[in-house]
Amino acid sequence: MGSVKDLTVQEMPVENKSGRGRFLFSDRYSVFDWGE
């Protein structure tokens, strides 16, 4: 089973600049799974 997380876009990417986002993990084990 994979990790459970949501992505919230904080700033959309534009042609010459990357966007920004935030991952919200459902539990502490999801953080370890995401790093693999």
pLDDT > 70? residue 33: no
DSSP string, 5-19: EEEEEEE--BTTB--
Residue 28 is predicted with a pLDDT of 65
Return d(Cα 19, Cα 9) in angstroms, integer: 8
pLDDT tens profile 7-22: 899 999 999 999 999 8
**pTM of the complete model:** 0.48
